[in-house]
Each structure stands twice: as C-alpha cells, then as structure tokens.
Structure 1
Amino acid sequence: MVPMAELHCHIEGAAQPALVERQAAKYGADTSAFIRDGRYVWHDFTSFLAAYDAASALFRSEEDYAALAETYLTGLARDGALYAEIFVSPDHAREAGLTPQAYLAGLAAGIARARAVAGIEARMIVIGVRHLGAAAVEAAARLAAGCGHPLVTGFGMAGDERAGRMADFARAFAIAREAGLGITVHAGELAGWQSVADALDHVAPARIGHGVRAIENPDLVRRIAAEGAVLECCPGSNVALSIYPDFAAHPFPALREAGCRVTLNADDPPYFWTSLAREYALAERHFGLGPADLIALTRTALEAAFVDEATRRRLLARLATAPAAAAG
C-alpha cells in the first residue's frame, strides 16, 4: 500500500450517497432528483453544482459535519493516507442554517475523532465561492483570517471558474495572506490556460487547484515549473466532467515531465466515481508511474501542505518509514 496525501477535496463533495440518504431520512427530505440507484445524478457542470448544493443542504448540525469529516478521513486512512486537507465552505453552512463557528467546530470534532481512531492528520481550507461574487469571497477570507481556529490553515476559491475576473478577487486573497494562511485557487479546469496565468498574476498562490489547462500554453507550463506553484491535479474529476475524453488525453504526465510539481487528489470523490486510492491506481495504470513515483507525489503533497513545520517533519518522517516507501 503506497502512503498517500490529499490536498484537494471538498468535504461536502466527499459525502457518499448512502450517507446523504440517511441525512435525508433524518430530515424528511427527498433525494430522488439527484440520487438514483445509490449514485449521484448530473449531466454537466451546472447540474453537478445543483446536486452538490442539494446534498450539502442535508448537513445541518455540528454532529452532521463531525460525522461527515470522521467518515471521510477514516476511510482515507484505511486506504493508506497519512494526511488530508479538506475544503470547507461557510456559505454552504449558512444555507443549511449553521453558523460558521458551529460548522468549523463540527468539522474539527470529526477531524479529531479520525485522528484518534486512525492516526490521520488533517487541516481545513476555507473557500470562497466564486460565482457568489467578490464580496462573498472577501467575506469568506475575513472569516478564515479572523476565526483563529488552529486547524484552519489555508484559504482558497472554488465554484464556477467562468464567473468574474481573477483581479476581482485579489483583495480577498490579500486578506488571507496577511493573516498567514496558505493560498490556493481553482483555475485551469473549465476555463483555459489564461485562467491559470491570471491566478499567478493576481493572486500568486502557492498552489493551484487543477491547473491542467496550463498545458495549452508551453510558456505558462515553463513558468509554473520555474515558480514552483504546486498543481492539485484531479484526473478522475477531469475525465468525469469531460474536460478530457479519457486518461490517455490527460496532461498529467506531460506537466510532470515538464518539471511542474504535481499531486493527485479526488476532488468530489463519489460525484466523480473515484477515491484518492483510485487516483493513485489510475496514475499507475494510465500514466506509467511506479511505487517510487507515487511516493514522490505524496512527498510533494506533504511538502506543499498548509501545516506548521513541526507537523510537516513528522509527516515526512512517517512517509519515509512507511513499508511501501521503504520498499520504494
């Protein structure tokens, strides 16, 4: 079992359909519009977001979110993950009637339970939702900067990448950066290479969520490699959303060979019929990576994690002494 680490997963998007159906029964809700035969139903990015929002609305208490975080993280640990970062969305919590403070407390309780049971380390990245507008993203940044929660170590932006200009969100990222939070931003997924360039120009993130459309501009690929921004790649998600027709067409190997720092992630695993373990297996099967290559990807993720240096050293030491790593 290759030790793994994940930097790009939306916690609401990690809820398995069976868990969402239990939540629906708890609250007397109907899931037939977005879950059928135990699977999420959607046909394009817009309908995916609608299904995502409907499922997220069924998590309404601290304990709901604690159970969600614990369930996801213990599952990751069983598959061999040492570390995970989860994207957390205060906007979804508010829509469900939960205060941001209660939302974070619930997730933190789940993280603590998973750590106690399975030994997995985890942190939270607060995200603003791009298609809600610059003011909403700035409000999320202020929350992240001011909450003082020790497990909130980063800030990012997700949502519909086609909404607004990156420059509109620069102030939000400045607020987060001034508070010492790690910076990541979704770019180069639905939109082309220019969205990645805009992110680098206006936000200067340490990491870019997805970023794969950078392959469309060789100069940009060279810039990413030179500047060292880490790409949070999610091949299974990209193929599920038809950004690429299949894994043979995916640019992950080309980005890696060009010297870009790449990692593997599951994004919204059950929506895209994947998992972190499957992403590692796909990279082995379709990208020709061996155990040593996969361990190197995990090392890159740990090096890029939004954690204090003492925690990073412990995680890297665990990686070095893991049986698969030692064998590699």
Structure 2
Amino acid sequence: MERPVSTLPKAHLHLHFTGSMRPATLQEMAAKHRIRLPETLREHHLLRLTPDERGWFRFQRLYDAARACVRDEEDMRRLVLEAAQDDAAEGSRWLEMQVDPTSYAPHVGGLTPALEIVLDAAREASQTTGCQVAIVVAASRMRHPLDARILARLAARYAGEGPGTVVGFGLSNDERRGDTEDFAPAFRIARNAGLASLPHSGELRGPDHVSLTLDTLHPDRLGHGVRAAENQEVLGRLVDAGVALEVCPASNVALGVYPTPAEVPLRSLIDSGARLALGADDPLLFGPRLAAQYETAREVHGLDDAALRHLAASSIEASRAPDDVKKGLLAEVEAWGPEQD
C-alpha cells in the first residue's frame, strides 16, 4: 500500500517569499491595507500562461500586486511562519526560502532591517513548526547588476549554515532580461562568503543559457534547469559538475514551458543521473504546493516509492542543511516505505 507523500521527509529548495503566501492570507493582507486585488488574485484563478514576454508580464504584474500587500513587519513574519507550517505539514523538514529584501525595505526601514526580520522569523518558525528554515537572498535580473552586488554583500554579512541564516545567493526573474555575465561579480562576493550559488536558469531559456550560467556564475544548483534535457552535452556538464536542479513541474506548465505535466522531462533528467530537488516555486499563483509535486512524480511519471525516496534524498543532499541534519533526515528517508499491516 502506497504511503502518502506528505509523510516522506524531504527538503524544499525552491520557494519564493511572496509566492509562498496562502490565498486566504493574501485576501486578509489586502483588506488590512485597503488594497484592491486584480480579479485573478481575488478569485484565486491559477495561471496558465503563454511562454513569451506577454505571459511573463502577466505573471509579474500579478506577483507585484501580491507583493504590494506585504507592507509591515507583521506581514513579513506571518509569511515565513505560514510557509514553514505548510511545508511541515507536507513532510518538508528543511526549507530554503528565497527573498529579495529590496521590495520590503521601504516599509521597515531599509534592506538590513528587512533581511533581519526575515531571518528572525525563520529562527522562530524553525523552533515551532517542525520545519527548519534558512534563507536565500536573491537579486533580480530586472535591476542593475550593481544592486545585485549590494545584496550579495548584505547576504554575506549573515552567512551561516543553520536555521535563520543566509545559506545562498540567487538570481531570479525573467531569464531573457539582463546579461547573465554582468552578475558574475555579485556571485563572486557571495561565493567568497561561503554562500551557495543558486541562479535561475534553463526554464524560459534553453540549454545555451544553462551553459552560459555554468561558465559565468558557477552554480551549485540551478533554479529550474529543466531545459538542459534538450541537449545531452549540456546535461552531461551538469551531471559531471554535480549541479543540482530545482525542478518545479507546476510552474513549468503554468508558464507554458511544457503543455502538460507529462511533458516535463522528469524521467529523462533522473535517468541522466542529474541531482534533482522538487520545488513549488510560487504556489500562490501556480496552485500545487510541495507534496503535489511528488504526487505528480508518482501519478504522472510513474515513480514508485523507491524512486520517490531517491528524489527526497537528493533534495536533502543538495541542500545547505548542516551535516548532522542531513544525516538524520537521510536516515528517515531510508526508513520510509509501504505501510505495514
């Protein structure tokens, strides 16, 4: 008898701060700050977009509308706590939540206070929810690379390896915007501080961009990376380098990268030997949370419990959790299997 995937211990390595929000929480925050939401957000219509700049513009407009409802310290702390609660309920024991503090800084006195609020909330959530929370500071491709350097220096100040610390530095937003190589100095600052290099690549752009990202940003993991499956040489580079892929099937379909969940190349990536970690990305807009990604792997891609254990173990191994945390979680994964009569 198959066990619920929510009981499988796992790490969650691709979840954005605003995008983690519960729809009900968004409604309450909008009411609190007297903000009128677009109909899509009011009615919680899940996105199905075209894989072009028009589709991305629509996604970004809705994301910005949701982000505008996060306007004080209480809101920020609530997002972290609820994300940890939701992850814990789905078997996630280690969460690396991605945040760009730039958008929230004006409401709380600056970049440093914004990051410190998130880190303190992560420490508190780690103590009360059953899911330990660390933070990835992410720059945006939509901003100047000098802004990324500022964020990298800020992230470096709070670098650590446990809950409530910064464990990585990312680069998010539309891959088609900005020149990837221009962000290399920011990633160099982060790497020198011991932070993981975690840029988005290989979702909206193909394997050529994955190669460029490998050459210029020297990633430890790639946000998405699924389109590396289109080129065996590029995929081989990822496998040989041990670069893990944060695969988010629901967002791949919602953004129109693949027409259906069945066409997400999960099986071919696994068969190639790539290290994978399933993620939910922005469940506020895309719908399914973390456990649903594992359900898709089981129901759509035909992965049995042994394969699901392998995915969960890969997520833990690819995380920046401390070694003792990884060891304990991997032992729990190994013990997970069919329920006994």
Please indicate the TM-score interval, normalised by the length of the shorter structure.
over 0.9
Contact (CA 8 Å) 1:9, 1:85: kept in 2 or not?
A: yes
Match of 1:28 in 2: 34
For residue 8 of structure 1, the aligned residue among 14, 18, 21 is 14
Asked if the contact 1:57–1:96 (Cα under 8 Å) also holds between the matched residues in 2, the reply is no
Q: Calculate the TM-score normalised by the size of structure 1.
A: 0.93
Contact 1:35 1:41 in 2 (8 A): no
SS at match of 2:70: coil
**Do the aligned partners of 1:3 and 1:324 also contact (CA within 8 Å) in 2?**
no
**Structure 2 partner of 1:217:** 231
CA contact 1:156–1:183 (8 Å) conserved in 2: yes
Paired residues of 1:214 and 1:220 also in contact (CA < 8 A): yes
The percent identity for this pair of structures is 35
Residue type of the alignment partner of 1:107? V
Q: CA contact under 8 A between 1:77 and 1:118: conserved in structure 2?
A: yes
Q: Are 2:60 and 1:60 equivalent residues in the alignment?
A: no
Asked whether the equivalents of residues 175 and 200 of structure 2 are also in contact (C-alpha less than 8 Å), the reply is yes
Which moves more between the two structures, 132-141 or 93-102? 93-102
Partner of 1:91: 102
Asked whether 1:284 is paired with 2:298, we answer: yes
CA–CA separation in structure 2 for the residues paired with 1:98 and 1:213: 40
Which residue of the partner structure matches residue 254 of structure 1? Answer: 268
Structure 2 residue 58 is the aligned partner of structure 1 residue 47: yes
Maintained 8 Å contact 1:17/1:40? no
How many Å separate the matches in 2 of 1:142 and 1:109? 19
After TM superposition, give the deviation of residue 39 of structure 1 in Å. 3.6
C-alpha distance in 1, partners of 2:218/2:44? 40
CA distance 1:234–1:109, change in 2 (3 Å): same
Distance 1:154 1:148 in 2: 8
AA matched with 2:84: L
The amino acid across from 2:128 in the alignment is V
Structure 2 Cα separation of the partners of residues 214 and 319 of structure 1: 28
Corresponding position of 1:231: 245
Does structure 1 residue 270 correspond to structure 2 residue 296? no
Using CA pairs below 8 Å that are at least 6 residues apart, which structure has the higher relative contact order?
Answer: 2
Unaligned stretches of 5+ residues in structure 2: 1-6, 50-54
Instruction: Give the alignment of 1:155-166 within 5 angstroms.
Output: 155-166=169-180
Deviates more, 1:57-66 or 1:148-157: 148-157
Does the Cα contact within 8 Å between 1:225 and 1:258 map onto a contact in 2? yes
Q: Do the aligned partners of 1:6 and 1:276 also contact (CA within 8 Å) in 2?
A: yes
2:4 counterpart residue number:
none
Instruction: Look up the match of 1:82.
Output: 93
Question: In structure 2, the residue corresponding to 1:83 is in which secondary structure?
Answer: strand
Q: What does residue 52 of structure 2 align with?
A: none
Corresponding residue for residue 139 of structure 1: 150
Task: For 1:261 and 1:247, locate their aligned partners in 2 and report how far apart those are by CA, in whole Å.
Answer: 19
SS at match of 1:132: coil
What is the CA deviation profile of residues 252-307 of structure 1, one whole-angstrom value per residue up to 9, with x for unaligned ones? 11111111111211000121111101000000011111112111111111111123
Q: CA deviation at 1:101?
A: 2.8
Q: CA deviation at 1:49?
A: 1.0
- Give the secondary-structure state (helix, strand or coil) at the position aligned to 2:203: coil
Q: 2:25 maps to which residue?
A: 19
Q: TM-score, normalised by structure 2?
A: 0.89
Alpha-carbon shift at residue 33 of structure 1 (Å)? 5.0
Whether 1:199 aligns to 2:213 is yes
Report SS of the residue matched to 2:16: coil
User: What is the Cα deviation at residue 147 of structure 1?
Assistant: 3.6
